[in-house]
Amino acid sequence: MRPENLRFFTFTIFTVLVLQVDSTQPPFSCDSSNPSTKTFPFCKTTLPISQRATDLVARLTLEEKISQLVNSAQPIPRLGIPGYQWWSEALHGVAYAGPGIRFNGTIKRATSFPQVILSAASFDANQWYRISQAIGKEARALYNAGQATGMTFWAPNINIFRDPRWGRGQETPGEDPLMTGKYGVSYVRGLQGDSFRGGEINGPLQASACCKHFTAYDLENWNGTSRYVFDAYVTAQDLADTYQPPFKSCVEEGRASGIMCAYNRVNGIPNCADSNFLSQTARAQWGFDGYIASDCDAVSIIHDAQGYAKTPEDAVVAVLKAGMDVNCGSYLQKHTRAAVDQKKLSVSEIDRALHNLFSVRMRLGLFNGNPTGQQFGNIGPDQVCSQENQMLALDAARNGIVLLKNSAGLLPLPKSKTMSLAVIGPNANSVQTLLGNYAGPPCKLVTPLQALQSYIEHTIPYPGCDSVQCSSASIDGAVNVAKGADHVVLIMGLDDTQEKEGLDRRDLVLPGKQQELIISVAKAAKNPVVLVLLSGGPIDVSFAKNDENIGSILWAGYPGEAGAIALAEIIFGDHNPGGKLPMTWYPQEFVKVSMTDMRMRPETSSGYPGRTYRFYKGPTVFEFGYGLSYSKYTYELGVVSQNKLYFNQSSTMHKINNFDSVLSILVSELGTEFCEHKKFPVRIEVKNHGEMAGKHPVLLFARQTKQGNGRPRKQLVGFHSVQLIAGERAEIEFEVSPCEHLSRTNEDGLMVMEEGTHFLVVEGQEYPISIVI
């Protein structure tokens, strides 16, 4: 959505909805106490939803139909249908953003989980599922309390964190397509009321998830290029193995009921007007069965900003014919009638969109009569901000925080009653910074300073900077405070003045005089200091990594309502950190790379370094998957299979010789049954050699001996988080599918299996597997 329009837009819609909805009565259709509804087939729950939706759409006038094509769908009183708000947000908790939710009734708060990038650092798909399951229940509770006029939530954000400067990278699970896809699947299943394994929704959806922003969207505003006009030139290869896989997983495995098309163009065509993406790929190839929404005002910019459509009516025609269903904004409300009158648009295109929209509302149970006695009708206010949900928020922060440096075992700090602690930095006593963007009102909130004070009574706070921007720093004052304390914790980093929707970063270093403040304090302190970084994106802290006066570095993302408690527990040893970075931390020199260059692969001739751990050829501050612990873990990798895999060629298969003379075969020609038969288990034994229990993510990668020619340097095959007490060992099993995990994408965007040696890699240990064609 456009941030500059949100405040006015939300206020306007909010005012309308307050007038329409009883504050304690959830809105619904097909009221059994209304005799007329009994005659409507669309109210008969025994009929298939497709038939019910068709009946409803056929009863609408053209004006009524057009009124349903925007996010603020108008009521249809003659049919007993209330207004509906398609736009609500629940990225990491039910949020303020979007007019579909109000916190002005019985329920005034909701659990605020860590921002997605930090939850991702746990590499724990089950935890992601439990978080979204809790969000879905809290959303349904708000609806039951009459504080929601819609149950469609525009999350998760599963765009790839391609560039470290991107202001919305914090909303995503990071830079890896496989991991991002698994996050999306976990989120969708949890929110919609499915099981963790999927395929077990028998009744209505608990809530509707919407995978966004489709596709190749990862720029806000860079060097004068805004997301509203940006034309992303993406190769078929990058589209197939980086940008599209998360959406494919979200649809095919997660069974998401919504997709949002993005503002930008891809290879000249606006995403919301691209029938190849919306209809041929999402619906025909992936089997998407839900609604497609535009990002807010994304239809208007097709004419007004991009000039792709010559007239407003042409923009309406382009998106509806492409397969979009509902417009966030008012453009379709204003211009659809004219498009029909000018005979540019058939009413059947409107009917198609409405069928999708009403089908989703019916799948939510909103046309089944009074929801009180239905499946989710007993979810009440007591399930919002429950102790269980608040503990889950704390666990998520504990498991996501990443220990980046711990020289000489500085952490954990002692819990001495006589110890003094200086807490310095602009983020030390900030409430809002902990939440990140797209947050709601938290159940409760403790600042890092308050959490640390609960451990050390003699705590001396000092901001050191006038703000996170730190244009003015009180370095002398901070140095004096540091000199008088036994230990110093610096809480620095970023906030929404540096990165958010609509705002990309210009630099990767800390803002203003933060670095100067840190170095000065560290030099003056009695002992090596602890540096805590709050941020969504990576920061070049090479200076701190190499400074012996800075003993420990912790990255805490934007850790949510309980994040400060989790941080203090880690600093004082009540929790053993185990998070791993879900994105590469690049040096400052990476800002020389154009943010509008969408290529993932490096180009030696021009010095283009490539992007993400899969392709980037250049120095890093910290690598994807990096993270320390207070425990030492060892691994033993064993493969239950032969170390040679034979892919015999049939008479119908085509061998391909690449220009670097590597023999390959198209995966599509191998067939599903053949690929299924070739799957094999990989077992990894992990042991905790430390003195503390710990939760430890194990990441399994694959790489090829042959490099270059667009091949990934390595790629994630799977991940699993295991809880081990001191001295305990456990065995983890991964299922490896050669057709998926040992193949690669060629320049035509097709998956190929290449002959030669491949390696399975875990924490430096490698197991060779030979592919023979």
* pLDDT, tens digit, 9 for 90 and up, residues 169-192: 999 999 999 999 999 999 999 999
Structure tokens at 184: 């999306």
Amino acid sitting at position 570: I
Residue 381 neighbours by CB distance under 10 Å? 17
CA 247 to CA 251: how far, in whole Å? 6
pLDDT attached to residue 20 = 38
Of the pLDDT bands very low, low, confident and very high (cuts 50, 70, 90), residue 16 is: very low
Of the pLDDT bands very low, low, confident and very high (cuts 50, 70, 90), residue 23 is: low
Confirm whether 295 is a catalytic residue.
yes
Tell me which DSSP letter residue 70 carries.
Answer: B
CA distances from 147 to 103, 152, 365, 561 (A): 7, 14, 17, 22
Per-residue pLDDT tens digits for 485-506: 999 999 999 999 999 999 999 9
Q: How far is CA 433 from the centre of its chain?
A: 18
pTM score: 0.96
Per-residue pLDDT tens digits for 522-575: 999 999 999 999 999 999 999 999 999 999 999 999 999 999 999 999 999 999
DSSP-derived 3-state class of residue 182:
helix
If one compares 25 and 323, the residue with the highest pLDDT of the two is 323
Q: Average pLDDT over the chain, rounded to whole?
A: 94
pLDDT at residue 446 greater than cutoff 60: yes
Of the pLDDT bands very low, low, confident and very high (cuts 50, 70, 90), residue 14 is: very low
Report strand pairing: 715-724 vs 663-666: unpaired
pLDDT attached to residue 36 = 82
Of the pLDDT bands very low, low, confident and very high (cuts 50, 70, 90), residue 3 is: very low
Structure tokens at 208: 């509707």
Residue length of the chain: 773
Q: How far is CA 162 from the centre of its chain?
A: 13
Kindly tell me the sign of the dihedral angle through the C-alpha atoms of 189, 194, 200, 205: negative
pLDDT at residue 4 greater than cutoff 70: no
CA-wise closest residue to 260 among 229, 291, 301, 219:
291
Structure tokens at 52: 């019910």
Of the pLDDT bands very low, low, confident and very high (cuts 50, 70, 90), residue 24 is: confident
Structure tokens at 571: 């600093």
Of the pLDDT bands very low, low, confident and very high (cuts 50, 70, 90), residue 387 is: very high
b/e per residue, 16-49, with b = 16+ CB within 10 A? Answer: bbeeebeeeebbbbbeeeeeebeebebbbeeeeb
- β-strand partners of 73: 84
Structure-derived torsion over alpha carbons of residues 131, 137, 139, 141, reported in degrees to the nearest 10: -150
Q: Where are the beta strands (DSSP E) in 689-750?
A: 694-704, 715-724, 729-736, 744-745
**Among 20-24, 104-108, 148-152, which is the least confidently predicted range?**
20-24
pLDDT attached to residue 21 = 40
Phi/psi for 78 (5° steps) reads -65, -20
CA-wise closest residue to 723 among 756, 703, 749, 695:
695
CA 189 to CA 256: how far, in whole Å? 8
Structure tokens at 484: 């008088």
- Whether residue 622 contacts residue 581, with contact meaning beta carbons closer than 8 Å, is answered with yes
pLDDT attached to residue 764 = 84
CA distances from 636 to 108, 160, 255, 413, 510 (A): 50, 32, 36, 32, 39
Report strand pairing: 208-214 vs 152-153: parallel
- Whether residue 206 contacts residue 137, with contact meaning beta carbons closer than 8 Å, is answered with yes
Of the pLDDT bands very low, low, confident and very high (cuts 50, 70, 90), residue 657 is: low
CA 428 to CA 433: how far, in whole Å? 10
pLDDT attached to residue 653 = 58
CA-wise closest residue to 163 among 583, 533, 535:
583
Residue given tokens 């990071």 in the structure block: 174
HEC string of 272-314? HHCHHHHHHHHHHHCCCCCEEEECCCCCHHHHHCCCCCCCHHH
Q: What percent of the chain has pLDDT over 90?
A: 91
Q: How far is CA 289 from the centre of its chain?
A: 21
- Arithmetic mean of pLDDT, 8-16: 33
**Among 16-25, 375-384, 632-641, which is the least confidently predicted range?**
16-25
Report strand pairing: 529-534 vs 550-555: parallel
Q: Is the peptide bond before 242 cis (omega within 30 degrees of 0)?
A: no
HEC string of 471-540? CCECHHHHHHHHHCCCEEEEEEECCCCCCECCECCCCCCCCCCHHHHHHHHHHHCCCCEEEEEECCCCCC
pLDDT attached to residue 654 = 62
Per-residue pLDDT tens digits for 140-168: 999 999 999 999 999 999 999 999 999 99
Structure tokens at 168: 């919305």
**Among 547-561, 711-725, 752-766, which is the least confidently predicted range?**
752-766
Per-residue pLDDT tens digits for 402-445: 999 999 999 999 999 899 999 999 999 999 999 999 999 999 99
Q: Which of 274, 295, 495, 496 is catalytic?
A: 295
Half-sphere exposure of residue 114: CA atoms within 13 angstroms, side-chain side: 37
pLDDT attached to residue 454 = 97
Q: Is the peptide bond before 619 cis (omega within 30 degrees of 0)?
A: no
For the chain, what is the largest distance between any 2 Cα atoms, rounded to a whole number of angstroms? 82
Q: How far is CA 529 from the centre of its chain?
A: 32
Half-sphere exposure of residue 738: CA atoms within 13 angstroms, side-chain side: 34
To the nearest 10 degrees (0 to 180), the angle between helices 387-400 and 125-144 is 150
pLDDT attached to residue 587 = 98
CA 757 to CA 773: how far, in whole Å? 12
Domains defined along the chain, listed by start? 41-383 (3.20.20.300), 394-592 (3.40.50.1700), 633-771 (2.60.40.10)
**Among 455-469, 557-571, 655-669, which is the least confidently predicted range?**
655-669
- Arithmetic mean of pLDDT, 382-391: 98
CA distances from 580 to 44, 155, 156 (A): 50, 23, 21
pLDDT attached to residue 655 = 63
Q: Where are the alpha helices (DSSP H) in 305-386?
A: 312-322, 331-341, 347-363
CA 751 to CA 706: how far, in whole Å? 17
pLDDT at residue 651 greater than cutoff 60: no
pLDDT attached to residue 649 = 60
Q: Which burial class, exposed, middle or buried, applies to 611 when counting CB atoms under 10 A from its CB (0-12, 13-18, 19+)? A: buried
Per-residue pLDDT tens digits for 194-220: 999 999 998 999 999 999 999 999 999
CA 425 to CA 449: how far, in whole Å? 10
Report strand pairing: 715-724 vs 633-639: unpaired
